[in-house]
């Protein structure tokens, strides 16, 4: 069976090996997932993160789960186990819609082939589908980059928030993919990266990725963004997304909304780079997007270092929602979507 190996994940055929993003860039640790329960824990604990990467990881989790029950003789019993696997994986992270998209896609393949194929054959088909999801993600990201780089000019400096690079996808990246594509097209692009508290994905992951790629990068704390914009240092903002509603409202890592407000105030275009699988046409507006609230310890501590007394009350939403009127354009693999978003998103999904 075909295998895949990228910076984010490696499929061996019997396990999925993930780079543990909680410890980057100081330590390069890998986690080997041999069961769907291992996959569920890795998604929930943020060993792997980023909507497209979560989706692909969940697909391989579905396959590992199917392999755990491959000795069952009864197909109906086997499919019931697949439903339990799907349920377990779907409960890991509520906001990133790619998780549910990938699991739905895997479940449809299982359902469509259940009666006509033996269980071993069905598992092979499921494995092929998971690999297809992974390889498609890489090509989709490159198409997003190709479409988005046209929005950047030679000499631009881009502000990005959180990490929407190779580590948030199977490879290449969405927001960072646009920057990579612009540079590959001969444009000189520099980057300012928000640190992105409390998990520091911008500081730990984005700067690490960009430095490894030789892209000039400056790290700033989250509360510096407005002042950097006022000084005229930023020409565009590009972020990723975890879920986009039908009306163009965007759920992304907490702090994105603040960056969008600041960009609007300073007349700076605010772009969202995401695959069509991140657009949830069943969700009408951002008000309907579930926002994950994570452990208070992520704010009280930085890695293992305690920052405040344990008794301090903490509110820790992992995402916020940027209303569509603050979004200049959404960059997808099928092209650039502009307002009116609901009309244009609906039209795109009808094609």
Read off the pLDDT of residues 321-335 as tens digits, 9 standing for 90 and up. 999 999 999 999 999
Average pLDDT on 227-233 reads 98
The answer on pLDDT for 298 being more than 80 is yes
The answer to whether 1 and 13 are in contact (CB under 8 A) is yes
The answer to whether 55 and 136 are in contact (CB under 8 A) is no
Q: Say which residue the tokens 């995402």 belong to.
A: 319
Q: Which residues are catalytic?
A: 242
Q: H or E element: which one contains 36? A: helix 36-44
Average pLDDT on 219-227 reads 98
Q: What percent of the chain has pLDDT over 90?
A: 96
User: Helices in 149-269 by DSSP H: which ranges?
Assistant: 175-184, 201, 207-212, 225-230, 256-265
How far apart, in whole angstroms, are the C-alpha atoms of residue 43 and residue 40? 5
How far apart, in whole angstroms, are the C-alpha atoms of residue 262 and residue 239? 14
The C-alpha torsion from 321 through 325 and 331 to 335, rounded to 10°, is 140
pLDDT of residue 303: 80
The answer on pLDDT for 190 being more than 70 is yes
How far apart, in whole angstroms, are the C-alpha atoms of residue 66 and residue 152? 45
Q: Render pLDDT for 70-90 as a digit per residue (tens, 0 to 9).
A: 998 799 999 999 999 999 999
10 burial via Cβ count (<10 Å: 0-12, 13-18, 19+): middle
Domains along the sequence of the chain with CATH:
4-142 (1.20.120.420), 146-350 (3.40.50.10470)
| Contacts (Cβ under 8 Å, ≥6 apart) of 282 | 246
According to DSSP, the β-strands at 329-332 and 335-337 are: antiparallel
The answer to whether 337 and 248 are in contact (CB under 8 A) is yes
pLDDT of residue 2: 66
Q: What percent of the chain has pLDDT over 70?
A: 99
Please count the other Cβ atoms lying within 10 Å of the Cβ belonging to residue 87.
10
351 falls in which pLDDT band (50, 70, 90)? Answer: low
Higher pLDDT residue, 351 or 240?
Answer: 240
pLDDT of residue 72: 86
According to DSSP, the β-strands at 236-239 and 279-280 are: unpaired
Average pLDDT on 129-142 reads 97
How far apart, in whole angstroms, are the C-alpha atoms of residue 319 and residue 100? 17
The answer on pLDDT for 1 being more than 60 is no
The answer to whether 197 and 171 are in contact (CB under 8 A) is no
| Contacts (Cβ under 8 Å, ≥6 apart) of 239 | 160, 161, 162, 164, 175, 250, 252, 253, 256, 259, 270, 271, 272, 273
Q: H or E element: which one contains 270? A: strand 270-273
Total residue count of the chain as it appears in this document: 351
Q: Is the peptide bond before 182 cis (omega within 30 degrees of 0)?
A: no
Which residues pair with residue 305 across a beta bridge?
302
């Amino acid at each position: 069976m075909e295998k895949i190996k990228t910076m984010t994940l490696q499929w061996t055929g019997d396990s999925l090996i993930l780079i543990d993003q909680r410890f980057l860039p100081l330590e390069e640790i890998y986690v080997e997932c041999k069961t769907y329960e291992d996959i569920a824990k890795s998604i929930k604990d943020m060993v792997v993160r980023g909507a497209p990467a979560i989706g692909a990881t969940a697909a391989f989790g579905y396959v590992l789960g199917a392999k755990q029950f491959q000795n069952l003789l009864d197909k109906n019993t086997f499919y019931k186990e697949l439903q339990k696997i799907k349920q377990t994986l779907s409960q890991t992270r509520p906001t990133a819609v790619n998780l549910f998209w990938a699991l739905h896609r895997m479940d449809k393949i299982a359902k469509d082939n259940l009666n006509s194929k033996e269980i071993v054959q069905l598992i092979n088909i499921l494995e092929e589908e998971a690999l297809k999801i992974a390889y498609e993600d890489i090509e989709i990201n490159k198409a997003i980059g190709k479409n988005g780089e046209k929005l950047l000019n030679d000499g631009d400096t881009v502000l990005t928030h959180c990490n929407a690079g190779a580590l948030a996808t199977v490879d290449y990246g969405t927001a960072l993919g646009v920057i990579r594509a612009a540079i590959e097209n001969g444009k000189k692009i520099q980057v300012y990266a928000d640190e992105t508290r409390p998990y520091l994905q911008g500081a730990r992951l984005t700067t690490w990725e960009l430095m490894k790629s030789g892209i000039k990068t400056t790290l700033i704390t989250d509360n510096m963004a407005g002042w950097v914009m006022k000084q005229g240092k930023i020409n565009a903002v590009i972020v990723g997304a975890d879920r986009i509603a039908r009306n163009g409202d965007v759920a992304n890592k907490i702090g994105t909304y603040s960056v969008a407000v600041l960009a609007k105030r300073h007349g700076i275009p605010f772009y969202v780079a995401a695959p069509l699988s991140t657009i949830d046409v069943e969700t009408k507006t951002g008000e309907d997007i579930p926002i994950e609230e994570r452990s208070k310890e992520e704010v009280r501590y930085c890695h293992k270092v305690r920052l405040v007394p344990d008794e301090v009350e903490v509110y820790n939403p992992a995402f916020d929602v940027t209303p569509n009127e603050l979004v200049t354009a959404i960059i997808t693999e099928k092209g650039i979507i502009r307002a009116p978003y609901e009309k244009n998103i609906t039209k795109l999904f009808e094609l």
